[in-house]
Amino acid sequence: MDPDTSKKVNDLLSLMDDISTDVDTRSELENLLSRIRLLEETVSGLAGRMDSLEKTYLEKQRRILSAAKDLKSIFTDNR
């Protein structure tokens, strides 16, 4: 092969290798983006559950404090 043709073949092979690398990189980025979106959805769901648990906790705490107050008033009224 003459030097000019050899250089063109090498350039073409190098270009093909770069394209392959770019495609692999793009595919990996798409996979990472997909995983990030899934994690965001999961975190959002967990945040919703935590909000619900916090509301339940505060409601139960309010009931306990109210019951404690009622019991305290019953015992102090009977004295």
pLDDT value of position 22: 73
Tell me which residue range forms the domain holding 38.
1-78
Q: Please give the structure tokens belonging to residue 48.
A: 């919703």
Residue 78 pLDDT > 70: no
Q: Which residues make Cβ contacts (< 8 Å) with residue 1, sequence separation at least 6?
A: 9
38 touches 30 (CB < 8 A): no
Q: How many domains does the chain have?
A: 1
Residue 64 pLDDT > 90: yes
In this predicted model, what pLDDT tens digit does every residue of 1-58 receive, in sequence order?
687 778 777 878 787 877 777 778 888 899 999 999 999 999 999 999 999 999 999 9
pLDDT value of position 79: 61
pLDDT value of position 41: 97
pLDDT value of position 59: 98
